[in-house]
Chain A
Amino acid sequence: MNSELQFVTAAIVDDDKIFTYGFRKLTGIKGLFDEILDFCNGKEAIDYLKDPQNSTRLPDVLFVDINMPIMDGWEFNDAFEEIKSLLPKPIAVYNISSSIDIEDINRAKKIRS
């Protein structure tokens, strides 16, 4: 992810406004991404990704929280699997969570395999 070579867009999907703010700020200081989109929950993110109007402004990498209202991280993963093949470019998805619930960890491992 070298910003000098390529224009990199990230998106953060999290209902925690403070984390979103901090993420933006920190990655800004480090100069990791050229643009950062944010969505409050999974549904907003999926709606954005699905909309053909946004096809030229899709993120390259997604950071998705697990615990969110409306559509949580798990549901987002399922929904993303369905639309993945229709997207014009590959998008990397990372689930982020502070959960230490072993069931959540195993579930995340299963999806990533």
Chain B
Amino acid sequence: MSSEVQQFSGENAAHIAHFADTGVSIWRYNIDTREVWWSTGFYQALGYQKNDIECSYSVFFDYLLYYEDRQTFLKTTLLTSNSVENSAHIRLLTKHKGYQWFQNTTKQYITETGRFIYGILINISEAKTAELKAVENETKFAEIGRIAKMGYWQIDCRTMELELSREIYDIYELNPSLPLSVDELLSYFLPQHEPVIKKAIDDALQHCIPYDIELQFKTAKENIIWVKCKGIPVIDEYGRSKYLRGIFQNIDSIKKRGITMQSSINLLDDQNKRLQNFAYIVSHNLRSHAGNLKFMVDLFEETPAEHERAEIFSHIKTISQSLSATMSHLDEIVKMQAEISNGTKLLEFADIFTNVVSALQADIKMSGAHINTNFNNAPTVNYIPAYLESILQNLLTNAIKYRHPDRTPVINITTYKAGSEVFMAFEDNGVGIDLERYGNQLFGMYKTFHTNPDAKGIGLFMTRNQVEALGGYITVESAVNVGTKFTIKLV
């Protein structure tokens, strides 16, 4: 140690010598002789032994100092004026830990023995790393928010002051420099949803109740989107809300997918119900025929009288016919499913209508029906030919079958477009139907509502199935003794 102390001179020497013993890393540079001295602490700080490296200006500058930091070092060290303290962050190569950050504080002294620059190095790598980490985390955090389309906010419950992350402005499609109040933020929600979020925030502020809701929202650029609003109150020692913080997330794509899925589920549910209904009805009808058949056969055996036997046998014949009719209805339904695979074609309504009319010519003539058509607004449709024919035929048959006895049947058939959708309206002035009573059964299988002997209860069941199989729907309006109007969304 004593040899080190001897190297110092002047009034500063004592102080420096004192520090040299404490392990502080100090360096000294003689501007005139370019002589360099490093304290023991200097070597320790960099992890070297004294004989590991040569103590020289060139070793420091060319070897230890990271090349990018040389400019900084020169500016803050050598080019400083007398007695001004300067500080800079530089990276030095340590023996085992690679480059580490150091704070280098320097000062120039001019003494009788020469001009010196003294420097003290403090390892600040940890702090520097933490600082860099913080910046990195912030970037990551911002990136996460951007990717998740999610922003963070906080309300100071006392002042109602609002803190918003940048993503919130992005979701609002607003300029981030715009100051916003809580009420202004809430005014962007759709009118039916604004009271919901207001109440949620009030409850959170007043009663510390957290919330997590999904609402619709109109951005500054008038885009309507679904957002997730989640708020959690932070309470003080008295249990009152101190802050209300939460997230605000654009969940439009997820929500819309969810809604689409829900409607698919509803459709499947409907189809499933129809299938089950179909199975019940088919079994019911087959059962009643089968039951009757057995019944008649048993009676036939128990009845000795010839003329009674003949009567029973005529009933057996009727049952046999009914059974074949039921089977042919089943065939039709199965065929209807098969038709879907044949695919759609561009069809002219006028052509299909002409075919149907010629098939029903006898009935139309007998009833004296007037049929008015207007296909001008939608002359064509992409549809399964057999379906469109069947739909028109069923509706036309029904209109004639259930015509009003006191007046000439008038049937109006119109097609029209709404956007890309094609509709057909089918209106008659027949006996009509009491929808209050029969509305939910109208399209059911083997449901008949009149004593008309021709009623089989299969037509509208088929029509609805055909329409729905292609993604459309059929609705009905009717008044007893006035008429019936079917509206069909074909595609």
- Using CB atoms and an 8 Å cutoff, list the residues of chain A in contact with chain B: 16, 18-19, 21-22, 25-26, 29, 40-41, 67, 69-70, 98-101
Contacts and interface: CB of A to CB of B under 8 A. Distances in A.
Contacts of B296: 18, 22
A77 to B, nearest CB: 15
Nearest to B316: A18
Interface stretch (B67-75, B127-135, B138-146, B281-289): B281-289
Interface string B284-312: 10011001100110010011000010001
Given A69-B448, A69-B449, A70-B451, A19 B295 contact: yes
B272 interface: no
Given A22-B292, A69-B448, A70-B449, A99 B315 contact: no
Contacts of A25: 299, 303, 308, 312
A98 B325 CA distance: 19
30 contacts: A16-B288, A16-B292, A18-B295, A18-B296, A18-B315, A18-B319, A19-B292, A19-B295, A22-B292, A22-B296, A22-B299, A25-B312, A29-B299, A40-B451, A41-B451, A69-B449, A69-B451, A70-B449, A70-B450, A70-B451, A98-B284, A98-B287, A98-B288, A99-B280, A99-B284, A100-B280, A100-B283, A100-B284, A100-B287, A101-B284
B229 interface: no
Contacts of B451: 40-41, 69-70
Given A18-B292, A25-B299, A67 B315 contact: no
B302 A29 contact: yes
A22 B288 contact: no
Nearest to B322: A18
Interface of B: 280, 283-284, 287-288, 291-292, 295-296, 299, 302-303, 308, 312, 315, 318-319, 446, 448-451, 455
A20 B446 CA distance: 19
A22 B295 CA distance: 7
Contacts of A69: 448-451, 455
Contacts of B295: 18-19, 22, 26
Contacts of A98: 284, 287-288, 291
Contacts of B318: 18
A110 B178 CA distance: 66
A26 B298 CA distance: 9
Contacts of A40: 451
A40 B287 CA distance: 20
A56 to B, nearest CB: 28
Contacts of B448: 69
B428 to A, nearest CB: 20
Contacts of A70: 449-451
Nearest to B449: A69
Contacts of B455: 69
A6 to B, nearest CB: 26
Contacts of A67: 284, 446
A109 to B, nearest CB: 17
A29 B305 CA distance: 12
Give the 4 A-B residue pairs with the shortest CB-CB distance, closest first.
A98-B287, A69-B448, A22-B295, A101-B280
Contacts of B319: 18
A88 to B, nearest CB: 30
A22 B446 CA distance: 22
Contacts of B303: 25, 29
A26 B303 CA distance: 10
A38 to B, nearest CB: 15
Contacts of A29: 299, 302-303
A26 B292 contact: no
Nearest to A65: B288
A24 to B, nearest CB: 10
Contacts of A18: 292, 295-296, 315, 318-319
Most buried by B among A18, A25, A99, A100: A18
A21 B318 CA distance: 13
B26 to A, nearest CB: 95
Nearest to B437: A75
Given A18-B295, A22-B296, A69-B451, 7 more contacts: A16-B288, A18-B315, A19-B288, A22-B315, A25-B308, A29-B303, A98-B287
Contacts of A21: 315
A98 B288 CA distance: 6
Contacts of B449: 69-70
